Amino acid sequence: MNNLAYNTYAQNNIGIESPQKLIEMLYEGTLRFNMQAIRSINNGDIEKRTYWINRSMAIFIELIQTLDFSHGDISHYLNGLYNYQIKLLMEANIEDNTEKIEEVNSVIKGLLEAWRETTKIAE
């Protein structure tokens, strides 16, 4: 599961422009997977709910593994934030709780927006 997210996107998007684009795609993938998980919860499909939540958690695990802690406090902050998102997703899976998935989506949307702004400035 460690490299599931990266491998999936690398296989499907051979021409990735940059590592910055990959992060953006991982955030977007999390949002897509979470929406599928919500749909599965609403449909009462336990198997698909678990599948989509596991895919989303795999992305967070990949994001954690790519953190460079030599860059100071931001990496430590993101490590804690990503781990908390995994915790919320695990709880959502156990409890059939769409609100916890929506909470994760809210965080990811904020991160995605900030990431896009940051990478736009760096270009």
Kindly give the confidence (pLDDT) of every residue in the chain, 123 residues in length, as a single tens digit, with 9 standing for 90 and above: 456 555 655 555 555 568 888 999 999 999 999 999 999 999 999 999 999 999 999 999 999 999 999 988 999 999 999 999 999 999 999 999 999 999 999 999 999 999 999 888 766
Domain ranges of the chain: 4-8+18-122
Q: Specify the pTM.
A: 0.84
Residue 24 is predicted with a pLDDT of: 93
Alpha helices per DSSP H over the chain: 4-12, 19-43, 46-65, 73-95, 98-122
Torsion of CA 98, 57, 16, 119, to 10 degrees: 70
Residue 18 is predicted with a pLDDT of: 81
What's the CATH architecture for 4-8+18-122? Up-down Bundle (1.20)
